[in-house]
Amino acid sequence: MSTLVTSRREGALLYVALDRPEKRNAIHRELLLALVDAIAAAEREPDVRAVVVYGEGPVFSAGVDFGMLTGDLAGERALPFRTLIGDMQAALSRLEALEKPVVGALHRYVPGLALELALAFDLRVATADAELGLPEVRVGLVPDVGGTTRLVRTVGYAKAKELILTGRMIGAAEALAIGLVNQVVPPGEHVTAAARLAVGLAKRLVDLGSNVDKHTFLAMELLAQSVLLRSEDAREGARALAERRPPRFTGR
C-alpha cells in the first residue's frame, strides 16, 4: 500500500483515506492512481459491500499539487501533459465503473481536482463548513479530469456552466440544494455519515441505464433480477421476510 493512501476494513465497509495531511492532501498523479487502486481492491473482496473515501487532516484535499505540472515531485521529470492528464482521466473512469458503491466523506475544503475526484463517487456527504468548487479559471486553466462532464451530469447544464465560468466556491448548503452533495452533516461527523451501505448491482444498472432507451433498460433490469434470484442472499431475504426478522446477507 502506498504511504500516500491508507485503507482499513470495518465489517462490510472498506475505508480509504488520502493520507498526505502535511500537504493538505494535494493530489498528484501517483496519489490518484494509488487511491483508485486501493478503492478497486474492494472488487476482489466479496465481503466488502461499499467503500468510504475521506481525507486525513484538516481538509479533504487542497486540490491539484501544482508540483506535478512542473516535475517538482521528488526531483522527478514531469510527464508529458497529455499523458499526465490522460492517466488521471482513466483512473477516475475506472473508479466510476466499479460495481460496488463509493461514498465520499468530504470536509472543509474540496476545490478543483479534489471535487473532480468527488464527482466520480456515487454519493457525497459534506460537513456544514465545507467549500466546494472548480476554481481553475482563476489561474487560467479549465477542469480537465472529467470535472466539466461529471458536473453537468450532476447539477445540470446551467448551474455547471455558472460554477465553471465563475470559478466560484460554494458552501455545503448550496451544494446540497443543487444536488452536488447528498447530505450535509456537522463537522466531524462526515465519515460516520458516509458509512452507509448500497447495492452495487443497482448502482451499475443506473449508470448503464442512463444512456440507453427504455426497453433496453427494462431488459437490463430483468437480467439483473434473474441473476439475483439465484443468489443465496435472495433466498435468505425471502426467509427473513417470512420469519419477520432482519436478513443476514453474506454477499453470495
Greater confidence (195 vs 89) lies with: 89
Greater confidence (80 vs 178) lies with: 178
Q: pLDDT > 90: what percent of the chain?
A: 48
pLDDT value at position 171? 98
CB atoms closer than 10 angstroms to residue 221:
13
**Which grid cell sits at 55?**
481525507
Q: pLDDT for 211-226, tens place per residue?
A: 666 666 566 566 555 5
pLDDT value at position 37? 95
Question: What average pLDDT does range 61-82 have in this prediction?
Answer: 67
Q: pLDDT for 99-154, tens place per residue?
A: 788 899 999 999 999 999 999 998 899 999 999 999 988 877 777 788 888 999 99
Q: Is the pLDDT of residue 210 over 90?
A: no
